[in-house]
Each structure stands twice: as C-alpha cells, then as structure tokens.
Amino acid sequence: MPFAEIGPIAIHFPERAETNADLQAAFPEWDMPAIAEKTGIGSRYIAAPNETASDLAVAACEKLFREFGVQRESIDFVLFCTQTPDYPLPTTACLLQHRLGLRENCGALDFNLGCSGFVYGLAMADGLIRMGAARRILLITAETYSKYIDDQDRSLRTIFGDAAAATLVQASDQQSLTGFQFGTDGSGADTLLVADGGARSEQDAIKPRHRKRWKSRLYMDGPSLLSFTIVAVPRLIEEVLELAELTEPQVELYLLHQATRKMLEQLQTRLGLDEASLPIMLENYGNTVSCTLPILISDLRRQGRIELGTQSLLIGFGVGWSWAGCAWKETWAQ
C-alpha cells in the first residue's frame, strides 16, 4: 500500500511588504514596539487590490513546477484550502486546474478551514493515495485576509499577512504521516468570523462574541482564541503521540500554526519546550492562516533543521473552532 509523503514546497508572497515602520509612519498614535513584542511580527505581505488567492496560488504552483522539476501532467488531484476564494462559486480549484494547464482527468476540490487546513489537507491527500485514487496531489493553501481588514484596524492589520504555498504530496513506500487526530467545537464560531458575503442574511448571521471595535469585515476575539488554544493544543498533542505510538523524547520538532508570538510562547511554557523544539518564525510574514505550516516547513528545511528522518508533530488550530494534528517523519530526499 502506498503512503503519502510531503515532497517539495514552493512559497509565494505578494510583491508589497508592509513593515511596522510603515504602519508607525501612517499611524503615529499606534504603539508599534509594544504590538511587535506581543505579536512577534515585524512585517507582512499584502495582496494588491486586484490580486486574489488564486493568483497567489498559481504563482506558487508555477514556482513548484519550475524549481523542483515537477511535471504538471503528473498531477492527479488539486486540494485547495482558502477562506478567501475568488467567488462563492465556481470552485476555485477548478479555476486553478485550467489556469495551470493540468489534465482534465484531474480531481479538484476546495475546502474552507483556515488555521487547521494544512493538516486536514494532508489527511485527505493521504486517504486519496492510500485508496489508489491519486499518486501526486497539489495541496495548495492561499489566503488574502487583508481584503477583510479595514486600514484603521490596529488589532488585525498588525497580525495577518497574505501568502500561498504549493505542497506536492506524493506516493511513497515509506509511511511518514501517522496519528492523524481532529477536533471541532462550533461554539467558538463567534470568535473569528466574517459574517457577510454568504447566503445567511445579515439579520440572522452569527454575531461577534463581544462588541465589534473596528470596521473590518473580519472580527477576532483574541483572548477567547488564546484560552481555547491553551486547552486544546496540549490535549491534541497527547492524542497524536498516543495514536502515533510516540513518546515526547522521540519528537524533535513541534511545528505549530504560527498565530502570534504571545500565543506560541504560552504554549511553549505549557508544554515545557523551548524555541529550538517549538520554533517561532513569523516575524517576516505575519499570521498567514492556512499557509503558516508549509512556510515553516520550507524555512526549516532550508536551514537544515529538518533532514531525512527528523521526527516532528504538525499542529493546526484556530478559526471554527477547528484543530488537527499528526506525526510526521521526513522521508523526502531534498
């Protein structure tokens, strides 16, 4: 039986990088040093007004094809994770199949999951490969949260960045992904949401958990998200370790969704880990939602901190509330 392997990853960012210095110049009243200390973010990339998630996704995929010699005709399936699709319909993955020149007998699927989306995508790719339905899958994550954020919104504009990641998930005779575990608690839907733009009328839409302070379409209740995360993530890690039949000393890296430095530092303390084991690497990108994990993997591979045989855990958590994790051993020979 074949297994899923995380192959090469290509990252693409929009052209414009917005730095904390840029924000300080535009808003002198904002205490950017204090904000940066909490978020751990110094800059983030912002999509152009006419640039969409699919545009970023196409650029990431073309980079994957070009830099890693991936033949587009070898792709059997496209899994596209985004919370900022080009249209309510058609499925953006169908548009990507056409724009990328992939075969017509190629599956294409959108899924809207945000911060846990990369791990969910790996699980779906693993299932498709194990059942023999596909051997090479493009797992694409792309987000343009900036389009939901008002320019004056100090709480969100300083955190979220736009990006796309194209990950080749391919069949292998080595099992590298194990212990998949998922969780959902829809009672937290009112802590991170965009309540307009769907079929639900504004009158009947979910209301933000607390008073909305900013004009952004996106609403976030940071303290509630932090409280949820501090409880859910340690429990998820325990479950993944048990399912994967691993012990804590066997795990070299805990790769967590890069939300903010404050949140990740609290998780480090709760789990008794340091930054060598639980990396925090969002200073130059911000919180890119479903893209944070593939960006983190790509950076660590490039730094030589993920090599053949490195044992890690992949942990996503956030909007929904939704959380997902798995164990991953590096088997791709870079």
Given 257, 284, 291, 326, which residue is catalytic? 257
- From 117, 151, 174, the end of a domain falls on 174
287 labelled catalytic: yes
**Which of these is catalytic: 20, 61, 106, 287?**
287
Pairing mode, strands 311-318 and 322-329? antiparallel
Give the residue carrying structure tokens 């967590």. Answer: 256
**Residue 199, in any domain of the structure:** yes
Based on the domain organization, do 151 and 241 belong to the same domain? no
Helix-then-strand count for the chain, H and E: 9, 13
Q: Tell me the pLDDT band of 137, cut-offs 50, 70 and 90.
A: very high
Gap between the Cα atoms of 278 and 261, Å rounded: 11
For residue 120, give the nearest of 55, 68, 62, 169 by alpha carbon: 169
In a domain, 11, yes or no: yes
Which residue is catalytic, options 61, 81, 106, 115? 115
Domain extent at residue 93: 3-174
Q: Decide if 311 is inside a domain.
A: yes
Number of domains in the chain: 2
Same domain, 80 and 210: no
* Tens-place pLDDT, residues 277-307: 999 999 999 999 999 999 999 999 999 999 9
Any catalytic annotation for residue 115?
Answer: yes
Residues 141 and 203 in one domain: no
- Kindly report, residue by residue over 69-85, the tens digit of the pLDDT: 999 999 999 999 999 99
What is the chain's length?
A: 334
Q: What is the mean pLDDT of residues 148-157?
A: 94
Looking at residue 117, which CATH number applies to its domain? 3.40.47.10
The Cα 81–Cα 93 span in angstroms is 9
Helix (H, G, I), strand (E, B) or coil at 183: strand
Of 135, 155, 174, which marks where a domain is finished? 174
